[in-house]
Structure 1
Amino acid sequence: MSVVVDENLVRKLIAAQFPRWAGRAIERWPSGGTVNAMFRLGDDMAVRLPLTKGGAKDVALEQKWLPRIAPRLPTPIPEVLGAGAPADGYPWPWSVYRWLPGENPRPEALGSPVPLAEDLTEFVLAMRRIPAAQAPALAHRGGPLATLDAETRSAIERLRAIPEENVDCDAVLALWDEALRAPVWEKAPVWLHADLMPGNLLVDGDRLSAVIDFGCMGVGDPACDLFPAWNLLPSSGREVFRETLSVDDATWNRARARTLSQALIALPYYRKTNEAMAGNARHVIRAVLDEVR
């Protein structure tokens, strides 16, 4: 099920549930995301509404955990200012957040990637230090690579049938098979953002200014939070990221394969509907293959 979400709906929801904010300007905010609609509310707030039932569960997760983890992190994250309820034909919970300024980083536009890599390292390490007691487990995103095997192989075969994408399917399949033989994570699970895509990062110049969209967060294999090594950072930043995180070979191989898997699945799915997602998928595939060649 999907619903139409526009300024008029947001205006009615705000007026009924948060009348103190009624009358503020409401403007849809352009985003490459596919799960939520985002609106500016005045100058200092944002309204975020799920577009599908699958995205609605993330609302409760953020409302519960963001206030708990925010004091432990060095980087600003979304602050929930209001918890909205279903109404006016809109069927799911939603949230009002404090607005976080910044821009999404673009791999091709990074001026000084090393400071950004250092900031990302600090954030990832701080997430790992959060006590994992009672945290939600991530079976799919934070579990063994084998849980992604069928979907990844299916995506590779879909890409074989799209020659204009020019993906070396034999090379990515060989890399995937090799990664499946890497040792699994057998230590205690750690806290993960679990979706560190460029669209979920905000920068001010060359520095990380905020991390957003924690709808996938939970505990699992730390390899899952190494995505920026390939979806954002060039080789110089990637080396700093790995070194300062002290990533062993097995974890690095799992992380690279997870990032590649996400890209392989995203490219055939989004190539005609979401250029931001498809473009980053192409970037990841190139970055991964360049690293191993």
Structure 2
Amino acid sequence: MHPDQLTVPSQTVRALIDHQFPAWRQLPITAVASQGTVNAVFRIGDHLAARFPLRDGEAETVRRQLATEADAARELTGRTRFPTPTHVALGEPGFGYPLPWSVQTWLPGTSADEDDPAQSTSFAHDLADFIADVRALDTRGRTFRSLARGGRGGELTAHDDWMETCFKHTEPLLPDLDVNADLNTRLDINIARLRQLWTAFQQLPRGTDADVMTHGDLIPGNILVARGRLAGVLDVGGLGPADPALDLVGAWHLLDADPRRVLRGLLECDDLQWQRGKAWAFEQAMGAFWYYRDSNPAMSRMGRRTLERIIRDEPPG
């Protein structure tokens, strides 16, 4: 998926766990197939998961990042009725793997990219409750950090250069995007239309809303579903203060029109905050659609579906 991506063989994971955590030597190790783009995940027995960063970097920088993610997981634990992973241990480099890595609790459930909750009003209620629970956390005076979550959650205009890259790479793929996968209809999409949407989005003012705590990455791969309800939320390490509209990306990544309206009503979003949430979803979807097209088809499909939802919601200008 990435030019600097590391290979993490199961044999290496076994050796690291046996050497550093001998109490787990008898537990089976199983690679977990997922649409994740940041970590290779391996299940340890029935209750634990090891997460190995996929992109190479400085070991001390990665160690600090993992410590920050562990703090975020602890901060969220018990503050919402929905299960979230908790930090268990920090592993060290070795056996050819160059970076620190982490162990957290394993959450059972099926990801939303496999068990689609898009038409579930009950799921929309659950998602609204989770977003509200996270927003209720105390920021403790913290404000948005631009290094978090790919820079999403600050100012939309800070993403202009990235969006220009996205437009360049997306234009050759527009014939694939133009046919709606769910409805088998044409959306009449062209690069000028996509640029027009971004021009409108980037001009949205922040308004008077102060930063609130956000999950920051409510995409299908980070959501667990059971019987059409929210069963758990993964990848909580990016928890932090940001634009209150940031977690509204979940409305566009996860929900069709009717449940999306339910979520908006429950969260009492005004027009500006709702449009900014749509803008953050658009920015994320534009990148996912082209960047992961060959290396992570599930992420690319998510980007495509989100773009379709946004385009159908936006009248041509």
CA distance in 2, matches of 1:274, 1:111: 21
CA spacing shift, 1:86–1:134, aligned 2, 3 Å: farther
Structure 1 counterpart SS, 2:36: coil
CA spacing shift, 1:6–1:107, aligned 2, 3 Å: closer
1:161 equivalent in alignment to 2:164: no
* Higher mean C-alpha displacement, 229-238 vs 98-107: 98-107
1:121 equivalent in alignment to 2:128: yes
CA spacing shift, 1:171–1:256, aligned 2, 3 Å: same
CA distance in 1, matches of 2:65, 2:39: 10
Deviation, 1:64, is: 1.7
Count, aligned residues: 293
For residue 265 of structure 1, what is the aligned residue in structure 2? 287
For residue 52 of structure 1, what is the aligned residue in structure 2? 55
Quick one: which amino acid aligns to residue 137 of structure 2? I
1:174 paired residue among 183, 192, 196: 196
CA distance in 1, matches of 2:114, 2:89: 34
For residue 157 of structure 2, what is the aligned residue in structure 1? 146
Q: When the two structures are superposed, what TM-score results if normalisation uses the length of structure 2?
A: 0.87
Quick one: which amino acid aligns to residue 28 of structure 1? A
Quick one: which amino acid aligns to residue 130 of structure 1? L
Q: Which runs of 5+ in 1 are unaligned?
A: none
Show the 5 A alignment for 1:124-135.
Answer: 124-133=131-140, 135=142
Deviation, 1:84, is: 1.3
CA distance in 1, matches of 2:309, 2:118: 18
Structure 2 counterpart SS, 1:263: helix
CA spacing shift, 1:50–1:108, aligned 2, 3 Å: closer
CA distance in 1, matches of 2:214, 2:281: 14
Quick one: which amino acid aligns to residue 205 of structure 1? R
* Higher mean C-alpha displacement, 45-54 vs 267-276: 45-54
CA distance in 1, matches of 2:20, 2:141: 31
Deviation, 1:170, is: 2.0
For residue 37 of structure 1, what is the aligned residue in structure 2? 40
CA distance in 1, matches of 2:161, 2:240: 23
Q: When the two structures are superposed, what TM-score results if normalisation uses the length of structure 1?
A: 0.93
For residue 267 of structure 2, what is the aligned residue in structure 1? 245
For residue 191 of structure 1, what is the aligned residue in structure 2? 213
Q: Percent identity?
A: 34
Q: Deviations over 1:132-165 (max 9, x none)?
A: 0164733221101111122113312322233433
CA distance in 1, matches of 2:231, 2:143: 26
CA distance in 1, matches of 2:152, 2:196: 21
Quick one: which amino acid aligns to residue 258 of structure 2? S
Quick one: which amino acid aligns to residue 72 of structure 2? W
Quick one: which amino acid aligns to residue 234 of structure 2? I
CA spacing shift, 1:157–1:266, aligned 2, 3 Å: same
CA distance in 1, matches of 2:267, 2:204: 19
Q: How large is the RMSD of aligned CA atoms in angstroms?
A: 2.0
1:92 paired residue among 72, 75, 99: 99
1:200 paired residue among 222, 227, 235: 222
